Amino acid sequence: MAATRIEGEDELVGTFLAPLAAGFPGALGLKDDCAVLAPSPGCELVLKTDPVVAGVHFFADDDPADIAWKALAVNVSDLAAKGATPRIYLMALSLPEAPEREWMARFAEGLGAAQRAFGMHLAGGDTDRTPGHLSIAMTVIGEVPAGKMVRRAAAQAGDALYVSGTLGDSALGLALGLDAGLATRLGLTADEAAHAIGRYLRPAPRVALAEALRAHARAAMDLSDGLMKDLGRMCRGSGVGAHVGAVDLPLSPAMRRALDAEPGRIRDVVAAGDDYEILTAVPLAASAEFEAAAQRSGIPMTRIGEITSAREVFVLDAQGQPIEPGRSGWDHFQSR
């Protein structure tokens, strides 16, 4: 069957997107100009928008189901870090040309899988043709009980510092995707390589951790630009510093093996972006309760260091020497 292109915005919205809005009455079937949201009583809304663009955050020829998943996941990751429960999202979809029906069906499939996994619905948005690259600007909205949003700039000296999951896998996955011989050179098994690539393509926002964070965390943020840069932001905003032991950083089997082969890849663990794990500072007195709550949520948390009053951030290697990252993390407007 020859690939056919969709014929207009009405088909794009009616056939492929409206089913994703069926579970949210305020979307009005995507037939109005706006969506309407009745906040839950006693709740505040937590809001985030972060666009992804082909050639920056994914490759234009990636599986459209993965592109859609990632576009939503990177935003939902922020909601989770704030202790918020995801509710709805708006999508501004800019396409370089009318998409093929098959492409659009896969895209909607990935988006559907993501919204089911994160517990949310499409509420509205817009589709446009762009002279540039495919870009997707999601705006996600979650809820917290009033006054309970977990802040970034609230860490205090003495707090225990935790990170969820494992670090650096996404950077490793991207490197593996760009270099067909790398898996062999690093001695990775096929499963290990697939794990790292999967982490790059389909990050898993730690939605299940929201409740534990709301209950016990002093400060939290998601890691999107690399541990050192994001921890630096948390500490600068809070007027504190941090000590982190590199040997304490949680690593996947794939990353362990990669580090055995090329120890310099520790820089990806401490400074590469796209982790979408959660960094949190928890009062020492609450750390046991936090660990128990995190365990109940099924999300592995690792204690990686502590918040200090000296306003400097150190990641120390096994010999106690500070690791200098090759770069200070991801910045769209700094030259590298």
- Which chain residues interact with a copy of itself by CB under 8 A? 5-9, 12, 26, 28, 31-39, 44-51, 53-56, 78-79, 81-82, 84, 90-92, 94-95, 98, 123-133, 135, 137, 139, 141, 144, 146, 149, 151-153, 221-222, 237, 331-334
Residue closer to a copy of itself, measured from CB, 77 or 252: 77
Q: How far is the CB of 188 from a copy of itself (least distance, A)?
A: 30
Q: How far is the CB of 84 from a copy of itself (least distance, A)?
A: 7
Residue closer to a copy of itself, measured from CB, 75 or 297: 75
Residue closer to a copy of itself, measured from CB, 56 or 247: 56
Residue found by looking up tokens 């599986």 in the block: 63
Backbone phi, then psi, for 213, in 5-degree steps? Answer: -65, -45
Residue closer to a copy of itself, measured from CB, 34 or 284: 34
The sign one gets for the Cα dihedral 74, 79, 83, 86 is negative
Q: How far is the CB of 306 from a copy of itself (least distance, A)?
A: 22
User: What is the distance between the alpha carbons of residues 130 and 333, in angstroms, rounded to a whole number?
Assistant: 22
Cβ distance 239 to 312 under 8 Å? no
User: What is the distance between the alpha carbons of residues 269 and 227, in angstroms, rounded to a whole number?
Assistant: 8
Q: How far is the CB of 177 from a copy of itself (least distance, A)?
A: 18
Element spanning 81, H or E: helix 64-81
20 Cβ contact partners less than 8 Å away, ≥ 6 residues apart: 108, 111, 112, 115, 121, 122
If DSSP codes are grouped into helix, strand and coil, which group holds residue 316? Answer: strand
Element spanning 64, H or E: helix 64-81
Residue closer to a copy of itself, measured from CB, 10 or 190: 10
Residue closer to a copy of itself, measured from CB, 125 or 173: 125
Q: How far is the CB of 82 from a copy of itself (least distance, A)?
A: 5
Q: How far is the CB of 187 from a copy of itself (least distance, A)?
A: 34
